[in-house]
Amino acid sequence: MQTTLRQGLARTIAVLVVGALVFGSAAFAQPKTVSYPGLDIESGQSGGAMTMVLGDSPPRFFYYGEISTVSQTLSQQMFDSLVEFDLENYELVPGLAESWEISDDGTVYTFHLREGVTWHDGTDFTADDVIFTYEQIITNPEARAGDAAQFTFTVDGESRPVTFEAVDDMTVRMTLPAAAPAFLLQQRFFIMPKHVLLPFSVEGGAAPADINNAWPTDVDPSLVVGTGPFRLTSYTPGQLVRLERNPDYWKVDEAGTPLPYLERLDYLIVPGTDAQVAQFLAGNLDQLNISGAQFPDFMTRSLAGADFDVVQSPALFGSPPHLAFNFDAADAELAELFSNVEFRRAMELAVDRMRVIDDVYNGLAEIPGTPTAPANAAFYEDTTGLMGEYDLAAAATALDELGLTDTDGDGVRNISAGRALEFTLTYGNDSPAFTDIATILQNDFAEIGVRVNLQGIQASQLLGTGLSGDYEAIVVALGNQPDPELRKPIWQPGGSLYYWHRSTQPADTGEAPNFDAMADWERRIYEIFDRGSVETDADDRAELYREWQRLNAENVPVIMIAKPANVAAVYDHIGNFVYSLGVIPGYNPVPLYFRR
């Protein structure tokens, strides 16, 4: 299956960069029939409930109002996008857009919307909802989880936006200032209801930032309306989010049975991995994503007759952990040291990736890309030969050559006279994997005379801490995507999520990044992402992003540690569970059902 999935990804990316793609010129029948012939999907039975887990309470039910994996998990069940992935081969297939065409020059996308779709409250879904979502929410720079940058192009030194037009009630046209090969792949944004959210928008007379106030957790559940398979029915703070079946959902199985099969989805709010495992083993959760460290215990129980299975697969999506040093640390001496590529390369030599893979993930992980997933055949460049291989003696020698020696004989190197080479490493203490990784790093760094003080916080707070700049070093996991363009805000210097070197950020929204703060290699990566955004030749575009991976390997902006496989446990009474290349945890577009 690995080869098949990689080939499917390669086909997906290749077709996206053709200048004149026309997909779905023939209308699909209504409703859409869902079929996965290669995944052993069987016809299910209507009824039953499934219980899953959330690691934290939702901050709100409006996806674009907060950067939150919890909100994202829930939104994936309640909302749809114009296009979606076929889980079997990861090719793009119609979603709320029944078909689409792309102009020969790659700048005009015309989406023909699916007839007969309604919002959970019975209101018709139309082009106005799509235009509203893109103009008032996604491209609103004040929307905390919006993505305005993806819809602004720099052409001849000028910023030009994508324009959106409702051709008629069921047709949307998006016109780009320049060709963008990954544009179609990006249109997996959740579409929102204009008739409900208008009062929170600029169009409805509100301030731009007011969009973030939509759907707080005490909202009437009937106001949280989507087009997705489930709808919000209740929320018990800190305990349970309940979703119930959308009886008017627009998908059916091959036998014509309306989807979803399940009548209800319950999400128990259970912070902490140990508590989640206990809830699963007690039978209070039907499915749980687990780590490689947990795999032996779960597999042993399964083989001993427990009524659940353990499934695993290589990952494309998912979040490979990495170690980042803060180039702009509050401590000036540390900031100067962390900004030195020779220091980062020296520290990379002290990162024992194979021990992490073996001890933390029980072998269910691989050496990661830098930072493209090895499963992504379309773009992956094998840079393992450029990455520092674990060698404590070589790491110590490299630090010696930087003048970082132990001048006072206490076993810890010194940055300057009387100043120990010491920093704080922030990690997620509610994650066993992060805890183990941080401990391994602390111990190995001590072997080369570098003192590390561990600071544990909730894993859900790691990215926010990185973005605030309030850290010295940090272990964070950021997800892969099938196209590097989709991670541009993370990996392009000056991007909104380029957290380890925040001084490259523009001074104000809409302004150019701070190029003066960039090293030469960062400026080159910036250029690569700008070029990759508009290059339509598939081979040239892939080579650009391979150069980016080589530059990452050579300059080590962050130290990639491991790429975990997907591992999950699921009880036997849940049918059709598939964990393929790893869509975001908690989301399973295959029609799950409850075996009676």
At 369 the three-state DSSP class reads: coil
CA angle at 142 for the pair 165 and 462, rounded to the nearest 5°: 125
Query: Which residue in 171, 189, 21 sits closest to 107, CA to CA?
Result: 21
Mean pLDDT, range 454-476, rounded to an integer: 94
CB 58 within 8 A of CB 76: no
Considering the chain, what percentage of its residues have pLDDT values greater than 70?
93
Question: How much is the pLDDT for 86?
Answer: 80
533-561 pLDDT per residue, tens: 888 888 999 999 999 999 999 999 999 99
pTM flag (> 0.85): no
β-partners of residue 197 are none
Query: Is a pLDDT exceeding 80 seen at residue 22?
Result: no
Q: Which tokens sit at 410?
A: 């206490």
355-381 pLDDT per residue, tens: 999 999 999 999 998 889 888 888 999
Q: How many CB atoms lie within 10 A of CB 133?
A: 23
Question: How much is the pLDDT for 125?
Answer: 98
CA angle at 107 for the pair 159 and 375, rounded to the nearest 5°: 95
Query: Is a pLDDT exceeding 90 seen at residue 41?
Result: no
Query: Which residue in 97, 34, 114 sits closest to 593, CA to CA?
Result: 34
What stretch of H or E contains 354?
A: helix 353-355
CB 45 within 8 A of CB 594: yes
